[in-house]
Structures are given as C-alpha cells and as structure tokens.
A and B are shown apart, each in its own frame.
Chain A
Amino acid sequence: MQDDGTAEPAGAGREAFPPPEEAPRPARRRGLALAALGVFGELLITLGLVLGLFVTYSLWWTNVQADRSASAASDRLRDAWASPGGGSSATPGATPSPGGPPRFAAGDDVGFLHVPAMGDGYQVLIRMGTSTEVLDEGVAGVYEQPYKAAMPWDPSGNFALAAHRDGHGAKFHDLDAVHKGDSIVVETKDKWYVYKVDSTLSETSKYDTGIVAPVPARSGYAAPGRYITLTTCTPVYTSRYRMAVWGSLVRVDDVDAKRTPPPELRHS
C-alpha cells in the first residue's frame, strides 16, 4: 500500500485524467499528502519497532551481558579463594590487612549471597558499591552511601545490599518471595553467615534511606545488632518504589575444606 502511495502518485493521476486541465493540481496535492502520510506512518512503525527492541534490550540482553560478566567474576573469586593465599594478589576480592579482617574497596568482590527462597541454588556475587556500573554487572551491591554498610564480620551494624529487579541480571527479581523465617546466607572466603528474615517492607519511597541505616527504620529492630538488608525496586518493571527485606544474624559457621554448605542451603 505504501509503495503505491509514494511510488507514482503523479503518474497515476496523469493516466486517470488524460486531458490535464484542472485535475492534476488537486490530484498532485492529494498525492503529496498521501506520500507525507505514508512517511509519517512508516516513522510511527519504526518508532514502535525501536521501542520493542528497547524492551528486548532491557529485559533480555542486559541479563545476558550481566550474567556473563557476573559468572566470570564469580569464577575469578572462587579461584582466588581456592589458590593458596587466595585474594592476596591483584585479583578481585579481599585486600588483606595485617592482623585484622579483610578490607574491601569499591568494586571488590566480597563473597556470595544465597537465598533459598529465591530458588534452589540461588547465588549472587556480592560486590562493594551501589553505583550503576557495579549493579549493572549482575551483582548485589553493598551500600556505601547514604549509610556505609557494616560487613558481616563487624561486631554490629547493617549489611545492606541492593540489586536489580529487572534487567542487568535481575538478581532480586523474586525478592517478594522472601518471607519472615526464610534464611539468607552470606558466604565469604572462610565463613558462612546465616541470617533469618525477621521482617519485610513491600513498598516505600526511594527517599526512605532509613531502611538501610545501621538500625534499620521500620524493621522493628530497636537496638544495634548484626543485620542484613536486601533492597530493590518495586513493582516489577518500574522504579517507582523500593522494597526491603531485613534479617538478623543467627549463626556463623566456619567453611570446611570441601566448602560444605550449612544445612539451610542443603536441599530441604
């Protein structure tokens, strides 16, 4: 249809009215208008296709990229752990400080987050920082602002994490499936930190920074303790609100030689 409109409007007009006295003028004008309308329609179709491609990009391609990058980084971290004196070289992971717990700078890989409620074998790499560059790599980012998160081995504080709900790995896509009583396990080089979920918040403003405070607001916690907070956006496919899941530390297990997971992670 479009071909006819744009291809030969003048010719068609001339053929239809052999003696071109007054006919060609409106006919040509109508032909031009039709051609313009055709181009406009094609532009709209193009816009629709581009928007469709953007959805494909956001919900599929960014996942492919993020999963690829996170999986490579996870392998690097596990390799660094497995090698003697692991993590001490310029690899991602711990920067050891003599005589103290490891210190991590922005972009360093800390360990792994396991949440059985989000699926069997669910595992997400934990990396310092919540910048777009960090989170877009398909990891759970450790908050450094507005509140600097405490690390799991710190005597008290809140280990606050964020990850994407959709796209870029969508690691917290199923965060709404985590309920009170569920287990959250943080795996580091030589410890399993086992948390139990105490409360969840299904929706709050994105300015509600109190939810990642050392004693998280609205969580029901009143005194300092060793907490974990998982945050992402809600509802799915938007960034309108934020949601949070809070847990407290119940146990710390040593990692054995075979890295046997704690009972919470074994298939129930």
Chain B
Amino acid sequence: MYAFIWRHLPGNTLVRAVISLLLILGIVYLLFTYVFPWAEPLLPFGDVTVDGGDGAAAG
C-alpha cells in the first residue's frame, strides 16, 4: 500500500519525501480538526457529570 503510493508519487526521492511529509501532515490535520472531534463524544472517555440517563448533561 505505502510502496504503491510511493511508486506513484512524481519526482525524485527528495521530492517524493517532501510530498509524503505534506500528505502525512494533511492527514493529521484532518484527523485533529474533523475526525477526532467527531469521534470523541461517541467514545466513553469524557463523561464527567452525573445524570439520570442519556439525553441529560454529559461531558
């Protein structure tokens, strides 16, 4: 998979390395900005309040 991507990147090794780095940074940015904030409330790690069930305050 990664080898496939590497082979299809243009340029020499240096250019490919730079493009790879940019791709990785872009993916990390997307994860931190959109994916993780979306996923976090779905996971049971951040509920600190007491409530009578779902629908009430949680966080």
Tell whether B28 is near chain A: CB-to-CB under 8 Å. yes
B41, B48, B57, B58 pick with most chain A CB within 10 angstroms: B48
* A200 proximal to B (CB < 8 A): no
B46–A239 CB distance below 8 A: yes
- In the complex, what residues of B have CB within 8 A of residue A50's CB? 31
With an 8 Å Cβ cutoff, the count of chain B residues facing the other chain is: 26
A141-182 CB contact bits vs B (8 Å, 1 = yes)? Answer: 101111000000000000000111111100010000000000
Q: Within the assembled complex, what's the spacing in Å between the Cα atoms of A41 and B17? A: 22
Interface residues of A in 18-50 (CB under 8 A from B): 38-39, 42-43, 50
Chain B residues near A (Cβ < 8 Å):
1-4, 7, 28, 31-32, 36, 39-41, 44-53, 56-59
Stretch at the interface among A67-75, A85-93, A95-103, A206-214: A206-214
Sorted from nearest, which 6 A-B pairs have the closest CB atoms?
Answer: A135-B59, A132-B59, A130-B57, A239-B47, A42-B1, A233-B48
Number of A residues whose C-beta is below 8 Å from B? 50
The answer to the question of A110 belonging to the interface, with a C-beta cut-off of 8 Å to chain B, is no
Across-interface contacts of A134 in B (CB, < 8 A)? 59
A250 CB within 8 Å of chain B: no
Known: A144-B57, A239-B48. 9 other contacts (CB 8 A): A42-B2, A50-B31, A58-B45, A132-B41, A133-B59, A134-B59, A204-B50, A207-B50, A232-B48
A53 at interface (Cβ–Cβ under 8 A)? Answer: yes
Could you list 5 A-B pairs, sorted by A, with CB under 8 Å?
A6-B3, A7-B3, A57-B36, A143-B57, A206-B50
The secondary-structure label for the interface of chain B is loop
Q: Which residues of B contact A132 (CB under 8 A)?
A: 41, 46, 58-59
**A3-B3, A136-B59, A145-B57 given as contacts; is B45 within 8 A of A167 (CB)?**
yes
Say yes or no for A231: interface residue by CB 8 A criterion: yes
Contacts of B56 in A (CB 8 A): 145-146
Partner of B50, one of A42, A172, A211: A211
A2 to B4, CA, bound (A): 10
In the assembled complex, how far is the CB of residue A231 from the closest CB belonging to chain B, in whole angstroms? 6
A57 vs chain B, min Cβ distance (A)? 4
Residues of B within 8 Å of A61, CB to CB, are 32
Residue of A nearest to B53 (CB): A207
A254 to chain B, nearest CB (A): 32
- Please determine whether B59 and A206 come into contact, CB atoms closer than 8 angstroms: no
With an 8 A cutoff between CB atoms, is A114 at the interface?
no
Determine the distance from Cα of A72 to Cα of B39 in the docked complex, in whole angstroms.
Answer: 26
A212 touches B50 (CB 8 A): yes
Q: Which of A204-255 contact B (CB under 8 A)?
A: 204, 206-209, 211-212, 231-233, 237-239, 242
Which residue on B lies nearest to A171, using beta carbons?
Answer: B48
A162 touches B48 (CB 8 A): yes
> Is A122 at the interface (CB under 8 A from chain B)?
no
CB distance from A121 to the nearest CB of B (A): 23
